[in-house]
Structure 1
């Protein structure tokens, strides 16, 4: 069995870090280019703006992997998952909601909520369209890009570095300081769940559950969202002012702290039901039973290159523009 998977890897080495950076850079530039083009053409409807960027995030990684002659299934870890893994994916998102809510509220003391305006514009196109654009498309496209291309290609240099750096880039990819903190958190646990199940389907499910629940609750309270869309939607507008702010933050903070051990337990349980070990997830030299899942660590890989620098600079500049202009 070990020789079989070794042969698969040697014949289909997947994406290099440079390949991953090139795909990330092109995707980022195209995303921004589509938005500027839409504005230049006078298209201000939220649907084509968001759908255009989401399609670019979906199509470019797939095309890039094809051009690089990488085996799609092995590169992106496209593998079916069991029902227990699906349940754990849903459970970890439910447990993560207080953590996400806390990070969201903390960021809103400094910047306005970045999702309300977009959500209000999409809700006008109906529930199914909103779910397609806000939940399904990001769950597939962003996971192909971040966990499939970026994480998997960086993993050849260092699994731990790939885990952390891919999460940070995932936060930067949202290009606003409001979503960045909780996107980084989600990026960290999505990689762990991907390693636990050895399948990109798991973080795709998590992504869909997270955005889907938010879209579902937002759509059926869209009157409130639409009222907020024209105003400053910050921490004060949500929590009020005075002593109530501290009480609300402490309550959400306590709930978030309680949920952290549950998140860890769910991740470990996912490893266990898939016959994998948490302690082996990021080792460079895995035991024989797991070597097929970790064959690609290569010390000569170099993550930092001009493609990555350009991508990060573009994301940082657009984040600053979105925040201060």
Structure 2
């Protein structure tokens, strides 16, 4: 079995475990009295920590190498922090466009998040998801897909990151930022290059939820869908020059690293195939649990 197929197999087991734990928690009487943020925090810890721990126990791989636990440096940290803030107009545009067809789970849980308190909500929505999801997606998966080539590996990791949300409304922006996060990690050789912007993006959501006033909510409700979409499009377009400048600075600090090509027995560049039975099962899981519930009446 190739490394890519092993990674797909692990991802498949992870998705099955993730679905199983999520359903078990939903029907567990002990979780009924938990606040929304407490429930999300518990679910994240139970869904991620056991399989991630078992991965390293069974593979005996070095976590520091797999997860690229290397320092960023203050220049990279500053640029990436700015990137995490500046990418949000584009994310908002993609999120709102998808929400025209599928419900936004964040909007549906706003009242529950607010009632949970700011600190607990920040931990459950921003801090732990950024750590755990990045260890899985830009850590284990991106490393495991290395033999696909860096661009295909980034695509594969971003695809599974989008599918992991099990929601068609979140998939478009999760896939886009997931791909960009892979690029940041590859250039810096540090997982912190994706943890930092991921945390910033999610924390901004929490800050906006707790700072939003009734007047702002009412004003947004009075705007038409077309007006909101155009406003978000304008904000996204205005953010592009700043994003381009940040990318230019980032590339200057992090030039491409020399890759040692691998060759097969025919002296052709060695590449593995992404498609495998495990991946097909993952796609089926997404269709059944992530897509069909929103398509059936």
Equivalent position of 1:240 in the other structure: 223
Structure 2 length normalisation: TM-score?
Answer: 0.85
Q: Give the drift of 1:57.
A: 2.3
* Deviation of 1:222 (Å): 7.9
Distance 1:306 1:171 in 2: 19
How far, CA to CA, are the matches of 2:165 and 2:181 in structure 1? 16
Asked if 1:22 corresponds to 2:13, the answer is no
**Match status 1:262 vs 2:253:** no
Over 3 Å counting, the alpha-carbon distance change for 1:123 and 1:248 in structure 2 is: closer
Is 1:51 equivalent to 2:31 in the alignment? Answer: no
* In 1, Cα distance between equivalents of 2:198 and 2:12: 22
* Aligned CA distance change for structure 1 residues 154 and 91 (closer, same or farther; 3 Å): same
Name the stretch that deviates more: 137-146 or 65-74: 65-74
Q: Deviations over 1:144-187 (max 9, x none)?
A: 11111112211212211111222122111111111111111111
- Quick one: structure 1 residues 201 and 92, their matched pair in 2 at CA, closer, same or farther if it must change by over 3 Å? same
1:6 is aligned to none
Describe how 1:204-283 pairs up with structure 2 within 5 A. Answer: 204-221=195-212, 238=221, 240-241=223-224, 245-274=225-254, 276-277=255-256
Mark the CA change 1:27 to 1:125 in structure 2 (over 3 Å): closer, same or farther: same
1:223 CA displacement: 6.7
- Within-5 A mapping of 1:151-230: 151-221=142-212
Cα offset, 1:58, TM superposition: 3.9
1:22 partner SS: helix
Distance 1:175 1:223, change over 3 A: farther
Alpha-carbon spacing, 1:222–1:168, altered in 2? closer, same or farther (3 Å): farther
How far, CA to CA, are the matches of 1:224 and 1:118 in structure 2?
Answer: 19
Matches within 5 A, 1:65-84: 65-84=56-75
Give distance in 2, aligned partners of 1:58 and 1:210.
22
- Which of 73, 89, 103 pairs up with 2:80? 89
Residue 281 of structure 2 corresponds to residue 310 of structure 1: yes
Structure 1 match to 2:265: none
The aligned residue for residue 150 of structure 1 is 141
Supply the distance in 1 between the matched residues of 2:261 and 2:154 (Cα, whole angstroms). Answer: 17
Which consecutive residues of structure 2, in runs of 5 or more, have no partner in the other structure? 263-268
Structure 1 CA distance, aligned partners of 2:226 and 2:195?
Answer: 35
Counterpart in the other structure of 2:90: 99
CA contact (8 A) 1:151 1:166 kept: yes
* Larger deviation, residues 120-129 vs 190-199: 120-129
Structure 1 unaligned residues grouped into runs of 5+: 1-14, 229-236, 287-297
Q: Distance in 2 between matches of 1:319 and 1:224?
A: 34
Change (3 A) 1:131 1:222: farther
> How many residues are matched?
285
Summarize the Cα distance change of 1:186–1:310 in structure 2 as closer, same or farther, 3 Å threshold: same
How far 1:322 moved relative to its partner? 4.1
With normalisation by structure 1, the TM-score equals 0.78
Aligned-residue Cα RMSD (Å) equals: 2.8
Greater shift, 188-197 or 39-48, is seen at 39-48
CA displacement at 1:320 relative to structure 2:
1.7
